[in-house]
Chains A and B, each alone.
Chain A
């Protein structure tokens, strides 16, 4: 068995943690953005529906 290269081991740990946190943060941001867009679209649709209902009643 070859002796452990601790420099490489620590770089694996650092790189791994960075990769996991970076990707998960990116996913959080993308999902949050997606949520905002769709919530806004839904709100606009609701408002349009209400307006249409109001016009129909008038």
Chain B
């Protein structure tokens, strides 16, 4: 006989059917509230809505009890028992790790590298801004000296450091392969800090530059880049980078392949698909997966706060290192050079470039730095993918 209400193996049942609220504990409730917070930030503040909204939704779904949505497929599992989020996690992120690469493909198709081709010095600013990655890598390892119980392994330290590249797909791909347990947190940190560029970067830039430096006037236009250069650039860059760091191929290869589709001008339909439908579909799957990778039992850990702090430190140091390198370049440059451009070397495209442009105009109304700042900004995308590839090359042998 079915009773109205009873517990069966610790699960509350009403009329013989499992109900969730009886199994909703405090940690899961907190995570649901965090998910709601992400959705609120996306809708009200419009902070990275394409990322934070599905991440928040995935987080809520993964923390509601007894749904089975995050059950990953396993050998011998009865048909239909794997949950859709579990399938996305297993095949999209943990086992095959294909989703971040297709996001990079779409980003490549959306990116115009002309400002970088017109001003190749910007590559160096994109390199300097990666210093934050290595600083936080050391910081993560140093945690073990102070709190041995919360120490991070080398692989985890690499995954935390890569947040400083401010590049979501690179963070997800690198962490997915090196330290999948903290992938949700590192990815969320990367996207959250990208959303907060306007809050994080200006104080650092102001701290490291004088008003006169920020007001440095640069001619607003760059030289015109020919179509041949734009077509040749992704091919040359792809070959150089992958020959030197083969493990960066999944990221760099797909980024530059997408760009080749765009610039070739002969596969417009494919380029349009990569820029629109493909990247949209992959974004839905990837961000839901990221949200679903954060059940309370994985996130409710003091180390999570450390990851968030170290990621923020990486981002701040990267910005500072970029500006410092910009100041060095300004010293040696024949023409006036605004050192703020170094801050755009983190790959938060195009937010960092916009911040630099805006601050340049605040200091000198004649300044129009957007195109100058886009160069280091897109160089940062390449730089962080190279740094991620380097980390993978240390630990992963395909």
Contacts and interface: CB of A to CB of B under 8 A. Distances in A.
Interface of A: 1-6, 8-10, 12-13, 15-17, 19-32, 34-35, 38-39, 42
B144 A35 contact: no
B154 A8 contact: yes
Given A13-B138, A17-B134, A19-B390, A27 B237 contact: yes
A41 to B, nearest CB: 8
Contacts of A42: 226
Given A4-B154, A32-B120, A38-B229, A24 B137 contact: no
B142 to A, nearest CB: 8
A24 B117 contact: no
Given A16-B137, A19-B387, 13 more contacts: A1-B148, A1-B151, A3-B144, A4-B151, A17-B131, A24-B124, A25-B123, A27-B123, A27-B241, A28-B120, A30-B237, A31-B236, A35-B223
Interface of B: 116-118, 120-124, 126-127, 130-131, 133-134, 137-138, 141, 144-145, 148, 151, 153-154, 157-158, 223, 225-226, 228-229, 232-233, 236-237, 240-241, 244-245, 379, 382-383, 386-387, 390-391, 394
Nearest to A6: B141
Contacts of A16: 133-134, 137, 387, 390-391
A28 B123 contact: yes
B137 A12 contact: yes
A26 B241 CA distance: 9
B223 to A, nearest CB: 8
B134 A13 contact: yes
Given A17-B131, A34-B229, A28 B387 contact: no
A26 B244 CA distance: 11
A30 B240 contact: yes
Main secondary structure of the interface of A (DSSP, over half): helix
A19 to B, nearest CB: 5
Please indicate which of the listed interface residues A24, A30, A34, A35 has the most CB atoms of chain B within 10 Å of its own CB: A24
B138 A9 contact: yes
Contacts of A26: 240, 244
A15 B394 CA distance: 10
Contacts of A28: 120-124
A34 B233 CA distance: 8
Q: Return the 6 tightest CB-CB contacts between A and B, nearest first.
A: A24-B127, A28-B123, A31-B120, A28-B120, A24-B123, A32-B120
10 contacts: A1-B144, A2-B153, A17-B131, A17-B134, A20-B127, A24-B123, A24-B126, A24-B383, A31-B236, A34-B233
Contact of A30 (B130, B138, B236): B236
A23 B245 contact: yes
A12 B392 CA distance: 11
